[in-house]
Amino acid sequence: MKKCSMALAVTAALYASAAMAQSDGNTTDDSARTLDKVSVIGVGQTHEVLRVQPEQVAVLPPGSSPLKALSALPGVSFQSSDAFGAYEWSTRIHLRGFNQSQLGFTLDGIPLGNMMYGNDNGLHISRALISENLGSAEVAEGVGGVSTATSGNLGGTLQFYSDDPSSEFGVKLAQTFGSDNTRRTYARLDTGDHDGFSMYLSGMTSDTDKWKGVGPQKQTQFNAKALYDFGEGNRIGVLVTTSERNETDYQDVSKQMVDQLGWNIDNSHDWAEANAIGQSIKDGYSYADLPAKYQGLADPWDASYYDGRGLRNDQVYNLFGDFTLSDNVTAHAQVYHHEDRGQGHWWSPWRDATWPDDELVALRTTEYGINRTGEIASLNWNAGDINDLEVGIWHETNDNSAQRNFYFFNAPVSDNYFLKNPDERVWYQTFHDTTRQFYVKDTLKLLDGRLNIEAGFKGTDVKIDAAVPDDPAIQQTLLTGSLESKDNFLPQVGATFKLDAHNEIFATYADNMAAYLGGLNGPLNTSQAGYDAEISSLKPERSKTVELGYRFSGGNLQASLTAYHVKYEDRLLAINPCSAIQTGPECVTQWVNVGSVTGKGVDALVVWKIMDGLRWSNSLSFNDTTYDSDYSDGGSIVPTGGKTVIDSPKQMFSSTLGWSVGAFELDLDASYTGKRYYAYTDVGSVDGFWLSNLGASYDFGKAWKFSDLKLAFNVTNLLDKKYFGTINSAGFVVADPDGTAQTLQVGAPRQVFVTLSAGF
C-alpha cells in the first residue's frame, strides 16, 4: 500500500511539474512503438529481430497473451491449453530449440524473469500488462542484445513495450462476450497532452469458465502510465501495473487417458469420486474402491483429481527517465519494484502417514513470494556520423521464497482465496538473489552508412543464497547454501551491409551464459546432501550462436531469410546418479551436467501488401536441434545422443491473410506445428497439427454520441481441431513407449467471441 501511494504521489508530482512549466511545443509522440508503425523485419539490425503486425493480433480475441501473437513469427513455437494463451500452467514458448527458462523477457526494460510457472524472479507478460495497452513487441531470436536486462538468455530475448498515453483526451470502452460464459470489460481514460504532461488510467476485469471441467478463470488488472516531456529530448515517466489472477487448473493427461476417457477428461470436482480414489490408495491401491472408468489405466489414481488452482497477486512500479545531456550525449535511468504473492492449490489423494485417519483428500499448496527492486542506467555518446558508444548497468536484489504445505478440511470447500496457517508444513526455503550486470557496446558506421559494425560485451554476476527458516514444524530439511554465476566477458559482434536501398545482409556472433535457476526450479531446491554432491561439478549453461541473414524492404514487400548455428554447452538436468540398489548421501536427486546440444536451421518471413486493402504474411521455419551425447541416470545409460531435443518441432509454418474494404476488415490465419517429442530418447511424441483463427470487424466510425464505434468477431481454432498443445506440463520423461506419461495438455476447441468497443 505504501508503494502504491508512492507511485501515485510521483504521478501527481509529474502533473504538478507540467502545470508549472512553460509549454515548449513538445507533445507525446503517439507513433512511438505502436504495432502498426514499425519495421516487421528489423531493418538495420545486426541480428534477426522480428516484430508483430496488427493483423496477427486482430485474429485473436481481446485479452490474448502477446506470446500467442508472436507465434506467427518464424522460429517461435507457442502452446497453451486455453483460447487466450494466458493459462500459465500450460503456456510454453520456445525459440529455435531453447525452452522458456533459457530466454529473456522484459517489459519497458523491466526484467520479467523466465515467466515459467512458479517463477522466482519475475512475472508473466499476461499479468504484467493489459493486452490493449501493448504498444509493440519484438523477438530477437538466438541473439539478444547485450543491453537487455536478462540473466537467463541463451536462445534469444522477447521485449514488450507499453503504449504511451495519447496526446488527445479520450475514453475507450470494450465489452467482450463469448464461449464458456466469457465476460471481459476494458476501460481506459487518456488525459491528453497538457504542456508536455499526459497520462492514462485503465482497468480490465475478465471472467470465463473453463472450456472443459468445472471452474472459472478470473483476472482483474489496473495499468496507469504518466509521461512528462520537457526541453529537447527529455522525458520522465511512471508506469504502475497491478494484477489479481485466479485460475482453475486443467488436468494433465496422458495419451492413454485420452484414448480411454476422451479428450474432455479433466479434474472431476466430484468429492465422492475423489474420496474413492483416496480410499483406494489407503487400502493398498485396491481396484475395488476405484471408479470403474479409471480401471485399466497405468496410473488410475492420478487420472482425475478433485480440483486445482493458481492464485497470483502482483504489483509493479517503474519510474524512468530519458535525458539529453549535450548535443551528442544522452542518458536513460529507471528504478522498478515488483511484489508477488502466489499459491498453487492441488487436492491430493496421496495420503501421508501423518494425515488424520479420516482424511482421504487434502489440499496441498505450493506458496510463493517475491519482493525485488532493480535499477537500470545507460549512457550513450554519439561521436558524429561514424561512431556510437553506449555503456550501461543493471542491478537487482530479490528476496523470494517457496514453501509446501497441507491443509486438512475433510470436506469440499471453496479454495479461491489465499490460505494461511497450514496443518502441515512440508518444506520452506528462502532465497536472496543479487544480480549485477554491465555492458559496453560500440557501433561504427562506415562507407557512408552502408556498413554498420556493432561490437560489445556484457558481464554478469548472479548470486543466489538459500536458507531455511528456523521452524521445528518443517518436516523436510532443505539446504542452506549459495550458487554464483559469473562471467565478466560475454562478447557479441555483428555487422549489416546495405547492398542498395532495399537489400541488406547481416551476420552476428554471440556468446551467452544463463545464470542458475533459483527458487523451486533450480539446483538449490534440494537436500543438503544433494547440494553437497553437485556443487563442485556445476557450471552455468552457455551458448554460442552464429547468424547469417538477408533482408529486403521496399514498397509493398518485406522479407527476411536467416540461417543459424548454435552450440549449447553444459546442459543441466536434475537426475539421480546412482542405481536403484545403491544408497548413501551421494544418492540423492541432483543437478548434473549432461553434455551439449547442437542446433541449426533456417527462418524465413515474407510480408506482402498485394494491393490496397489486401495483405499476406508467411513464415517458415526448419530447425534441427539434437543432443550430442548420452548421459547416465541411476547407473543406466540414457541413449540421447543424436536424438531431437524435446518440444522442438522441426517444421513450422504460419500464414496470415488480411482483407479490408471500407469499414469492414477480415483476418484469417493458419499455422502448422510439426511433430514434437516429450521424451529425451524420442520414444514419446505428439503428432503435428494445423490450427486456424478468424477475426472480423466493422468500424462504424462516429455514431450516436461515440467518436468511434466498432464491432469485432473472433473465432479461435476455427476448424475445431483436436490436438495436444502443451507437452511438458508435468515435466519430461526418458521414454514413454505406452503413452502413459501424464504430462500433456489438450488444446482448446473452437470458441467464439464478440467485442463491442467505443470511444468518446
The answer to whether residues 263 and 722 touch, using CB atoms and an 8 Å cutoff, is yes
Determine the 3-state secondary structure of 334 from DSSP.
strand
Q: What is the pLDDT of residue 181?
A: 98
Q: Alpha-carbon torsion 625, 626, 632, 638, what sign?
A: positive
Backbone angles phi, psi at 612, to 5 degrees: -55, 125
Q: Which residues of 647-657 are buried (b: 16+ CB within 10 A; e: fewer)?
A: bbbbebbbbbb
In sequence order, the β-bridge partners of residue 186 are 174, 204
The answer for residues whose C-beta is within 8 angstroms of residue 500's C-beta and 6 or more apart is none
Nearest-angstrom CA–CA distance, 200 and 202: 6
Nearest-angstrom CA–CA distance, 311 and 248: 9
Nearest-angstrom CA–CA distance, 477 and 429: 9
The model's pLDDT over 366-381, given as tens digits with 9 standing for 90+, comes to 999 999 999 999 999 9
Greater confidence (449 vs 582) lies with 449
Of 68, 66, 96, residue with least CA distance to 156: 96
Cα 599 to Cα 93, 350, 596, 627: the distances in Å are: 17, 41, 10, 9
C-alpha cell at 391: 555503456
The model's pLDDT over 161-215, given as tens digits with 9 standing for 90+, comes to 999 999 999 999 999 999 999 999 999 999 999 999 999 999 999 999 999 999 9
**In whole numbers, what is the pLDDT of the chain averaged over residues?**
91
Indicate the pairing of strand 156-162 with strand 104-107: parallel
CA dihedral (620, 621, 622, 627) in degrees, to 10, reads -170
> What distance lies between CA 20 and its chain's CA centroid?
42
Residue 1's pLDDT band, with cuts at 50, 70 and 90, is: very low
The model's pLDDT over 558-610, given as tens digits with 9 standing for 90+, comes to 999 999 999 999 999 988 655 544 545 555 677 889 999 999 999 999 999 99
Name the amino acid, one letter, at 372: R
Backbone angles phi, psi at 452, to 5 degrees: -115, 125
Residue 421's pLDDT band, with cuts at 50, 70 and 90, is: very high
Of 251, 172, 205, 155, residue with least CA distance to 745: 251
The answer to whether residues 201 and 189 touch, using CB atoms and an 8 Å cutoff, is yes
Per-residue pLDDT for 12 more than 50? Answer: no
Strand segments (E) across 101-215: 104-107, 110-111, 134-141, 156-162, 170-178, 182-190, 197-209
pTM for this predicted structure: 0.93
Rg (CA), the chain: 26
459: left (phi over 0), alpha (psi -120 to 50) or beta: beta
3-state SS of 605-654 is: EEEEEEECCEEEEEEEEEEEEEECCCEEECCEEECCCCCECCCCCCEEEE
How many other β-carbons are positioned within 10 Å of the β-carbon of residue 722? 11
Nearest-angstrom CA–CA distance, 274 and 251: 14
**Mean pLDDT across 539-552:** 97
Residue 711's pLDDT band, with cuts at 50, 70 and 90, is: very high
Nearest-angstrom CA–CA distance, 691 and 670: 6
Indicate the burial class of 363 (C-beta count within 10 angstroms; 0-12, 13-18, 19 or more): buried
Name the amino acid, one letter, at 378: S
CB hemisphere CA count around 412 (13 angstroms): 12
H or E element in which residue 702 lies? strand 689-703
Q: What is the pLDDT of residue 34?
A: 36
Q: What is the pLDDT of residue 586?
A: 54
How many other β-carbons are positioned within 10 Å of the β-carbon of residue 487? 16
User: H-type helices in 72-211, by residue range?
Assistant: 125-128
Indicate the burial class of 555 (C-beta count within 10 angstroms; 0-12, 13-18, 19 or more): exposed
Q: What is the pLDDT of residue 58?
A: 81
SS3 content of the chain, % helix, strand, coil (to 5): 10, 50, 40
Of 398, 530, 514, residue with least CA distance to 465: 398
The model's pLDDT over 712-741, given as tens digits with 9 standing for 90+, comes to 999 999 999 999 999 999 989 999 999 999
Cell 549489416, residue located: 496
Residues in the chain: 760
The model's pLDDT over 86-131, given as tens digits with 9 standing for 90+, comes to 999 999 999 999 999 999 999 999 999 999 998 899 999 999 999 9
Q: What is the pLDDT of residue 572?
A: 93
Give the rounded percent of residues in the chain with a pLDDT score beyond 90.
Answer: 82
Backbone angles phi, psi at 91, to 5 degrees: -70, 130
Cell 496477427, residue located: 56
How are strands ordered across the β-sheet holding 49-51? Answer: 49-51, 134-141, 156-162, 104-107, 110-111
Indicate the pairing of strand 134-141 with strand 197-209: unpaired
The answer to whether residues 85 and 61 touch, using CB atoms and an 8 Å cutoff, is no
CA dihedral (577, 582, 587, 588) in degrees, to 10, reads 100
